[in-house]
A and B are shown apart, each in its own frame.
Chain A
């Protein structure tokens, strides 16, 4: 027998302020708030806060009848029959109603206009559970007492399994489950969410992401937001994330900060990573040097395709692109290039020296990004190598980097303005 009988369904906002009477008809107080325990599939209400200055709760199984007009208790009220607020319980009016939450389904921030409750009997146990949050306009009108104006509209309810509270109320919340839910979001969606959050919430949220998720999300953001987030972060974590980022992105972010701050972060990074970033930071904004990444793949000219393919398996995860393989001599002078396709179809016993194209387009680090774009466009390249005066390869500029700089995102317009208020809002 696992039958569930529904005794009633309620909107939390309409229950608030309802008078409570006990068996003898005495007015005990009003529904001031309800405490909820976040466990199982549906968070369950543990009790009703009935007066302003008390932390005692009337347990749900004490309720004889419940409507928006009045609540009647089964017995005569006595303070001994109430229970105390448990440390893992939270008040929903205080912590959920009117607050922002993450809608995991739509992957955006929404505001809780109302909460729906269900009062059920299962195996002779009465319980009241939170079923969904109302994030729609109809919920707003209900709060204003004007629901009749929009009674033909649909409620916009979001089931609790699809929401994630922005602030963790307490440690009791199942962090692991949340983390998994969030990790199912696309990094670009996480980036949008982060940009909308206020800085405190954001800090809490980033803490829950692992480094890889945080870096993926950061890369999806525009520069201003990246700088803001890194600056507000704890220095140790910030330096960890900067290490994980492609060095060109990290350099772009650090250049925007004060010398003191960026130096502090660089000193916390691993020496190798920091060195690479430092080099990139020397180049002026908008030049090939500032745009390039040092994560390219280069091989010695004496290697055979077979050896190269073996090495590629190890190098590929780090590199920004593997479609172009650059060939260099012992002193890192750029000699030629071949494509991944050419490598794969080549005879395994040839050497790269025989296979490579020696006529290749390259740019100098101080060249303007427009010039780089022209070359990439004209020759239909995916990336162009950057070399110094001696012909030593310094890095590559990929077509993605160029597109980022040529097509300003519409979203960035907000921050370009002196006066516009972006997002807040959230948003």
Chain B
């Protein structure tokens, strides 16, 4: 019996990873910025949205991971085989736009963390962009990556900080399960941003690729399932405490969050005057980690679907498209973050909204593939699962449309809301 347990545990550890790693990379610069802004602006109001989007994250990641384990193929590969060149092209455009936006937000995060130490972004961003680009080109980024992964762990300090501030727990828990909704464009944008930062198009491609890369098969999938669930839980845990900590410190004192740096204030109960230092280390770690992953996973996805040579082990001459896509994404991402007069915080928040808006098409592809019996066999989505996935996709599309309307014609939105009694 004991031996049996040990074998199970060791198997779990062996396949553990993709879900948890994706979860950590998910709480990147844009993520922290969005959670902090949500807490500071709307207090505990968005905790319910967060809970729902975490449940949806678990479902979405589960679908991707299962598809990866059953087919042994990446998402873009399957999109190409099931839907042909045109749809693949569409999916790749969607993915690239979302990923360029997210990369820009990572470089903004890098810039912000350096600014806290008094280093100007014109110096920090080009240097860090070069570090990312060069170390992948030279193939020695795996060690560097681990350093930043460890730095990310500093975000766990939000959990301690959120506990120290001792928020009104009853109110917090109530807010977590009570649907709260405002119809103004700002709130919608924040809600979509919150969903867009938890569930990302790239995260879906990435988790599936990571499952395939680890050689996980349908047989071992039950362990990966728990890995994915654990990952979703971690995403929620950190996000929840960032929202709670910022709500209790900033929102309670009516301090508007103007820049991401203000989110460090929420760490003061724990770290005192070192709060901003702690925060900027975490921000740097998460941003750099994602800055490595995003351009790479985009390049893999594009090459995989169109049949170009790919792989960090290849030379640029052997895989020109792979390194081309990769380089262009870094360049564009850094350029957006350096654009004269642009607000770094705005870049971070906007990129999360872009991710949220572009998520539905990717979700639709995913769900269609996962419910296709000729691809998934007996592992295809159950009917109940499909209902939930479609419902979520449709809700997200409606939210996106509402955001569009609320941005273009706020008055119309208000009267419409009154009409249906909200």
Contacts and interface: CB of A to CB of B under 8 A. Distances in A.
Most B CB within 10 A of own CB, among A110, A144, A415, A423: A423
A176 interface: no
Contacts of B311: 411, 414, 422-423, 425, 427
Interface in A97-121: 97-100, 110-111, 113
Interface string A252-284: 000000101000000000000000000000000
B303 interface: yes
Most B CB within 10 A of own CB, among A260, A409, A427: A427
Interface string B130-145: 0000000001111001
A198 B141 CA distance: 25
B71 A200 contact: yes
Size category of the B interface is: 35 or more
A256 B330 CA distance: 37
Interface in A113-154: 113, 135, 140, 143-144
Interface string B68-102: 00011110010011001110010000000000000
A135 to B, nearest CB: 7
B401 interface: no
A260 B210 CA distance: 25
Interface string A194-211: 000011111000000000
B312 A420 contact: yes
Nearest to B86: A144
B306 A418 contact: no
Nearest to A410: B313
Interface in B282-337: 289, 292-293, 296-297, 300, 303-304, 306-307, 310-313
A238 to B, nearest CB: 14
B21 interface: yes
A199 B312 contact: no
Contacts of B179: none
B72 A200 contact: yes
B264 interface: no
Given A426-B310, A427-B310, A410 B139 contact: yes
Nearest to A93: B84
Most B CB within 10 A of own CB, among A228, A417, A419, A424: A419
Interface in A398-416: 409-416
B213 interface: yes
Given A98-B80, A410-B313, A414-B312, A420 B72 contact: no
A228 B72 CA distance: 12
Contacts of B378: none
B304 A424 contact: yes
B262 to A, nearest CB: 30
Contacts of B304: 424-427
Contacts of A97: 84
B49 to A, nearest CB: 29
A413 B217 contact: no
B11 interface: yes
A413 B144 CA distance: 13
Contacts of B306: 111, 140
B170 to A, nearest CB: 40
A111 B300 CA distance: 15
Contact of A417 (B89, B141, B303): B141
Contact of B74 (A199, A412, A424): A424
Contact of A425 (B145, B217, B300): B300
A309 interface: no
Nearest to A197: B72
Interface string B146-164: 1001000000000000000
Contacts of B139: 410, 413
Given A410-B313, A426-B304, A427-B310, A421 B297 contact: yes
B209 interface: yes
A87 B307 CA distance: 30
B215 A199 contact: yes
Interface in A15-66: none
Contact of A419 (B7, B14, B80, B293): B293
A9 interface: no
B253 interface: no
A198 B313 contact: no
A258 B212 contact: no
B215 A413 contact: no
Contacts of B11: 258
A198 B80 contact: no
A296 B47 CA distance: 68
Given A199-B72, A420-B312, A113 B85 contact: yes
A231 interface: yes
Contact of B72 (A99, A198, A260, A409): A198
B10 interface: yes
B269 interface: no
Given A144-B89, A228-B215, A424 B73 contact: yes
Contacts of A198: 71-73, 212
B167 interface: no
Given A135-B307, A425-B310, A419 B21 contact: yes
B296 A421 contact: yes
Interface in A176-219: 198-202
A350 B82 CA distance: 73
Nearest to B215: A228
Contact of A111 (B80, B141, B146, B215): B80
A419 B300 CA distance: 13
Nearest to A146: B89
Given A418-B21, A419-B145, A424-B212, A99 B81 contact: yes
A232 interface: yes
A258 B7 contact: yes
Contacts of B361: none
B410 interface: no
A202 B72 CA distance: 10
A421 B209 contact: yes
A100 B304 CA distance: 10
B142 A416 contact: yes
27 contacts: A99-B81, A113-B307, A140-B85, A143-B84, A198-B71, A199-B215, A201-B72, A411-B313, A412-B313, A413-B139, A413-B140, A413-B313, A416-B142, A418-B21, A419-B21, A419-B25, A419-B142, A419-B289, A421-B296, A421-B300, A423-B311, A424-B74, A424-B77, A425-B77, A425-B310, A426-B310, A427-B304
Given A144-B85, A425-B303, A426-B304, 6 more contacts: A98-B84, A140-B306, A199-B72, A417-B145, A421-B296, A424-B212
Nearest 3 pairs between A and B by C-beta? A111-B307, A198-B72, A143-B85
